[in-house]
Amino acid sequence: MNDALDSKTSGRGAPDEGAVKPGSALFSMCLALTLVTASMSSPYLALPDLAADLNASTASLTWIVDGYVLALAGLVLPLGALGDRIGRRTMLIAGTVVLGASAFAAAESSGTTALITWRAVMGVGAAMIMPGTLSTITAVLPDAQRQKGVAAWAACAAVGMVLGMLATGVLLRWFTWRSVFVSGGVAALGVGLAAAFLAPETKSEHRRRFDVGGAVCTALAPAGLVYALIEGNDAGWGRPVVLVAMAVTVVAGAAYVVLGMRTEDPLLDPRLFRNQGFRAGAVALTVQFMAVFGFFFVGLQYLQLVLAYSPLKSALALVPVAVVVAVVSEVAPRLAVRAGMRTVLIGGLGLLGAGLLTLSFIDIDSGYLPFLGSLVLAGPGIGLTGVVGTSAITGSLPRDQQGVASAMNDVTREAGAAIGIALTGSLFAGHYRSSLPDLSRLPEPAAEVVRHSPVGGLEVAGRIGPQGALLATSVKEALMKGMSVALASVAAVIAVAACLLVRTPQRPAPPD
């Protein structure tokens, strides 16, 4: 699927060796991936400002973050397949235009509905960009360099998230949250130009019929699940619309399997999951991204609302874990060769789960050092799982199926992120509200603001005089309760995933 390369216009055969500079192509693709992941994480540090400026509830904040990720998760497979047909670089550059234009539009949003909508359109642009990054890298790089290229790609996926938050922290020191989206639009323009000048055009050699049924199913299944998780907690699990969303998830998932078994050229053949290496990589990456993005949603609120860190200081507080991830990502391929894929994946998930579980025990008086210790414990797990999980998928398939491998890497990451944000956001919001003290002494509008979100609760506490200090402490304690339950639940999911990998072989089976 990925062998047909041409650095100019056609998709027939490999390009002339002198025409393709693998280093330049790798740089431009890693830059594009960094844009995608930075755009995913950049709103996190702006959530308190968004809550105050747009009067956004916790559910609305969840949708602002998850709208982008959900669009990306649902469309990455069909848009990746379309890119295989018309050219991956062409699709990527078009995606930078869509992402950039919608980012500029998001900066002009006057309410949460408009912002959620434009964030979703940004996700569409990201879904046009992301599939071509890994498939171009695996196609352009020589076999001897491909594993290093995959490791660099996986490292950029993790480091880009922290870079996005660092940029947000810097911008919010002098400007409003709108500047975050303006800078994202400018960055998208730069990425598009880099791809145009540095990356070759790549296409699939084989013209395949587009799998409409698979595209619909892979979009509906995660969308239904995320909607049910967010709205079920906010409005009630028994509401008909929530039950319908759950039913859509089940039906779409089952239909994907049935249609995929009957379709000659499915977007993602469900039979691939019989391959143990492929399946192990998919499980590990889904759970890893679920944990990382779930942590961002609740952990950054601890830094900003409990420790009273500025956005920039909060971003800098995460730099140590980014350094750990980058270093471990470099050694992960060698460690997998020595210790075995199964050992590294289970060990990586174990470290990640242990870090989040430890983090769930901190309280409002813990300070930064226990928080940092938990992150440093989780960091190696992120690096090991990300690189080895990616290699497990790409190494399980032959070279002409690397487009499928790339698509699977993309969809597992984004589906995991979307589910993680929805799950942790839902658990956090529910337990925050249930842990608040009796608010009957407050006027009902003020009490509703407190229930709305921790940001609202702290704003009310700052306006009610001597009783405000007691309310602020109660709000922070409720925040910590919600964070504790959310992170402990994610750690439990990680433990289950690690158990599922026990029978994974130490070495992936050689591709057919």
Let me know whether 233 and 348 are in one domain.
no
Let me know whether 234 and 374 are in one domain.
no
Query: Which phi and psi (to 5°) does residue 6 adopt?
Result: -150, 120
Q: Which neighbouring-strand residues pair with 201?
A: 6
Residue with tokens 């599922």: 500
CATH of the domain at 21: 1.20.1250.20
Let me know whether 89 and 236 are in one domain.
no
Let me know whether 237 and 176 are in one domain.
no
- The verdict on residue 507 lying in a domain is no
Let me know whether 340 and 454 are in one domain.
yes
Query: Which phi and psi (to 5°) does residue 286 adopt?
Result: -60, -45
- The verdict on residue 366 lying in a domain is yes
Q: Are 407 and 77 in contact (CB under 8 A)?
A: yes
Residue 6: predicted pLDDT: 37
Let me know whether 149 and 245 are in one domain.
no
Let me know whether 256 and 325 are in one domain.
no
pTM for the structure as a whole: 0.80
Cα separation, 173 vs 311, in Å, equals: 7
Residue 125: predicted pLDDT: 95
- The verdict on residue 68 lying in a domain is yes
Cα separation, 35 vs 96, in Å, equals: 9
What SS3 class is residue 44?
helix
Q: What is the pLDDT along the chain (512 residues), one digit of tens a residue?
A: 333 333 333 333 344 444 557 778 888 999 999 999 899 888 888 888 888 888 887 778 888 888 898 888 888 888 887 887 888 899 999 999 999 999 999 999 989 999 999 999 999 999 999 888 887 887 777 766 777 787 788 778 777 888 888 899 899 989 999 999 999 999 999 999 999 998 888 776 666 677 788 888 888 888 888 888 777 766 666 778 888 888 988 998 899 889 888 887 787 788 878 878 888 888 999 999 899 888 988 888 899 999 999 988 988 998 888 888 888 888 888 888 888 888 999 999 999 999 999 999 999 999 999 999 999 999 999 989 988 888 888 777 766 566 666 777 777 887 888 888 888 888 898 889 889 988 888 888 888 888 888 888 888 888 887 778 899 999 999 999 999 999 999 999 999 999 988 887 776 655 55
Say what angle helices 88-106 and 112-129 make with each other, to 10 degrees. Answer: 170
- The verdict on residue 9 lying in a domain is no
Return the closest-CA partner of residue 102 out of 67, 62, 51, 78. 67
Residue 455: predicted pLDDT: 84
Residue 234: predicted pLDDT: 63
Of 227, 249, 264, which closes a domain? 264
Let me know whether 280 and 255 are in one domain.
no
Range of the domain at 368: 15-200+207-211+265-500
For every residue of 323-382, DSSP letters joined together read HHHHHHHHHHHHHHHHH-HHHHHHHHHHHHHHHHHHHTT--TTS-HHHHHHHHHHHHHHH
Residue 445: predicted pLDDT: 84
Cα separation, 286 vs 411, in Å, equals: 8
- The verdict on residue 508 lying in a domain is no
Let me know whether 151 and 229 are in one domain.
no
Question: DSSP code of 399?
Answer: G
Cα separation, 81 vs 210, in Å, equals: 8
Let me know whether 252 and 325 are in one domain.
no
The count of structural domains within the chain is 2
- The verdict on residue 509 lying in a domain is no
- The verdict on residue 6 lying in a domain is no
The H helix count followed by the E strand count for the chain is 19, 2
Residue 247: predicted pLDDT: 92
Residue 117: predicted pLDDT: 94
Residue 511: predicted pLDDT: 53
Let me know whether 111 and 227 are in one domain.
no
- The verdict on residue 140 lying in a domain is yes
Please state, in angstroms and as integers, the Cα–Cα distance from residue 37 to each residue in 164, 318, 440, 478, following that order: 8, 15, 43, 30
Of 244, 264, 284, which closes a domain? 264
Residue with tokens 């995320």: 226
Let me know whether 250 and 386 are in one domain.
no
